[in-house]
Amino acid sequence: MGTENLLVDIKDGVALLTINRPKVLNALHTSVIAELQETFEALNANQAVKAVVITGSGEKAFVAGADIAEMAVMDAQQALVFARTGQKLVNYIGTMPKPVIAAVNGFALGGGMELALACDFIYASENAKMGLPEVTLGIMPGFGGSQKFARLLGRSRANELIFTGKMLTAAEAKEWGIVNAVLPLAELVGKALETAARIAGNGLLGVAHVKEAIRRGLDMTEPDGMDYESVLFASLFASRDQKEGMGAFVEKRKPNFTGS
Ligand code: CAA
């Protein structure tokens, strides 16, 4: 499975998706965004896939941004369509029930940083460099970066990072709470796959519901979020996975979850 610019490898319930345009540091051309959208939809529909890891090919970049050569000749109307296309993709990743881990193996800049931020969490290699350098090109972030960073980092850090366009090292990104782990490049994808496999062994309906509770809860007041949590919690008690998970605990055996 794969497309012109994407490699897809599915093993033991985990899909490894690699953006494969290393000559331009995996830059997101419209065609790559379309392939990503199509592939994420296919992986979401594929019963054999329980979790996804996304990375970039080569040792230099995850994704060095939206394709500047393509954007250089866009007018405002084309730029609006482009931003909305990228936002559709990041929103899809953020709302799809299956967990997605970004393995950032080098530069994650502009649209590449925004793609990583769309994922449920990020592991980075020691050589990774991250940021939103759009203002150095005379534009601003367009695939959700201003909104995501303001919520994740708070207004002051988001403002400084985006107004300067500076890049954070992997260690700085960890200190700022952008990445969960910093690993040697050679271990990065393996570690992300290992974490994905661990998640894939859990009750995926529970994982999907809590992904939704956390995402939507962040836009709610805490009492509304608690209320929403209780509704999703209760709905799981009508599932096969709840019977299986609790039954297996009582019977002292490994659960066999089906995500139903
Ligand atoms: N778009 C298109 N091509 C890109 C690219 C991008 N975002 N980033 C790198 N490339 C290309 C370069 O043009 C170069 O191609 P050629 O060999 O044909 O010249 C190739 O990839 C290798 O890049 P460099 O020679 O520049 O490599 P370097 O090691 O000297 O520098 C870098 C690496 C610092 C990442 C530098 O490439 C760079 O600054 N890239 C652009 C980063 C950027 O500004 N990203 C944000 C884009 S705007 C955006 O994403 C908008 C949005 O929010 C949606």
Residue nearest atom 47 in ligand 1 by C-alpha distance: 65
Could you give the ipTM of this predicted complex?
0.98
Q: Where in the chain is the domain with CATH 1.10.12?
A: 204-250
Secondary structure in 3-state letters for the chain: CEECCEEEEEECCEEEEEECCHHHCCCECHHHHHHHHHHHHHHHHCCCCCEEEEEECCCCEEECCECHHHHCCCCHHHHHHHHHHHHHHHHHHHHCCCCEEEEECCEEECHHHHHHHHCCEEEEECCCEEECHHHHHCCCCCCCHHHHHHHHHCHHHHHHHHHHCCCEEHHHHHHCCCCCEEECHHHHHHHHHHHHHHHHCCCHHHHHHHHHHHHHHCCCCHHHHHHHHHHHHHHHHHCHHHHHHHHHHHCCCCCCCCCC
Q: Which of 23, 25, 162 to mutate to test the pocket of ligand 1 (most atoms within 8 A of CB)?
A: 25
**Residue 41 annotated as catalytic:** no
Among the CATH numbers 3.90.226.10, 3.40.50.2300, 1.10.10.10, 3.30.1490.20, which is that of 6-200?
Answer: 3.90.226.10
114 is catalytic: yes
Cα(96) to ligand 1 centroid in Å equals: 29
- Distances from the Cα of 119 to the Cα of 2, 58, 166, 223, 251, angstroms: 20, 20, 22, 26, 36
Where exactly does CATH 3.90.226.10 map onto the chain? 6-200
**Per residue of the chain (260 residues), what is the pLDDT tens digit?**
789 999 999 999 999 999 999 999 999 999 999 999 999 999 999 999 999 999 999 999 999 999 999 999 999 999 999 999 999 999 999 999 999 999 999 999 999 999 999 999 999 999 999 999 999 999 999 999 999 999 999 999 999 999 999 999 999 999 999 999 999 999 999 999 999 999 999 999 999 999 999 999 999 999 999 999 999 999 999 999 999 999 999 999 999 999 99
**pLDDT number for residue 2:** 84
Closest-CA residue, ligand 1 atom 43, reads: 65
Q: Ligand 1: residues within 6 Å at CB? A: 24-25, 27, 64-69, 86, 107, 109-111, 114, 133-134, 137, 141-143, 145
Centre of ligand 1 from the C-alpha of residue 209, in Å: 37
| pTM of the entire predicted model | 0.97
Surface-to-core class of residue 193, CB atoms within 10 Å of its CB (0-12 exposed, 13-18 middle, 19+ buried): buried
- How far is 123 from 24, CA to CA, in rounded Å? 22
In the reported structure, the alpha carbon of residue 65 is separated from the centroid of ligand 1 by a whole-number distance in angstroms of 7
The residue written with tokens 């290699």 in the block is 125
Q: Which residue among 5, 29, 68, 146 has the greatest number of ligand 1 atoms within 8 angstroms of its CB, and so is best to mutate?
A: 68
CATH dotted code for 204-250:
1.10.12
Select from 128, 234, 257 the least CA-distant residue to 183: 128
Catalytic residue, chosen from 4, 35, 70, 114, is 114
Output the residue whose Cα is nearest ligand 1's atom 44.
133
Tens digit of each residue's pLDDT (9 = 90 or more) over 67-99 = 999 999 999 999 999 999 999 999 999 999 999
